[in-house]
Chain A
């Protein structure tokens, strides 16, 4: 069965600090996708990144970076020099190709507070 665990319920940091959000997943499928979404207080989920199971290259996009390690089934997300606008709930998610790919399982989410 597929499962996504985000052990950090809430994180509070001061602006300009770096912060890492952890994500651990379980799947029996060899082909799957991992995602990160951001949900600001306005409510709309915003797609941040997709990674497929065959691509373990880390990715950097501005202040955001992602570390995908199949050996530890982890897909962690780091925000460098955090800003108040980064305050949101962040969801890690998993989609298995073997089950048709339509079912995306979300982690419980990590609420990030960035204080000025």
Chain B
């Protein structure tokens, strides 16, 4: 099973709302990622979890709050977003072999977020 699932597929939220994006994988991968992708741009890394610990935060505003409850799940909590945060949010996972780098990432279908 090489599938990464994400829910919801689409989300419209107001600037005062609180919502969460969810991601799940059952490939036994120990590295999980959140990316943001604007139209006609490449994915931009937001967060990386390795063995359920936050390894990388690419200076993401605090209105985005990641959580990794266990090795299969990754959440992104959203609060007080701005219209410019509207984008496709992609989750990915990969093997994590210490000292050997990261292998290929498997991506979910993404959540298309619109902030009104």
Residues of A within 8 A of B (CB): 31-33, 35, 37, 42-47, 50, 91, 95-97, 100-104, 106-109
Residues of B within 8 A of A (CB): 31, 33, 40-43, 45, 48, 50, 55-56, 88, 90, 92, 99-110, 112
Interface centre among B45, B50, B101 (most CB of A within 10 A): B101
Q: How far is the CB of A24 from chain B (nearest CB, A)?
A: 15
Contacts of A103 in B (CB 8 A): 45, 48, 56
Contacts A33-B102, A103-B45, A104-B45 known; A44 to B107 CB distance under 8 Å?
yes
Q: How far is the CB of B109 from chain A (nearest CB, A)?
A: 4
The answer to whether B100 and A97 touch across the interface, beta carbons within 8 angstroms, is: yes
Q: How far is the CB of A109 from chain B (nearest CB, A)?
A: 6
Q: How far is the CB of A99 from chain B (nearest CB, A)?
A: 9
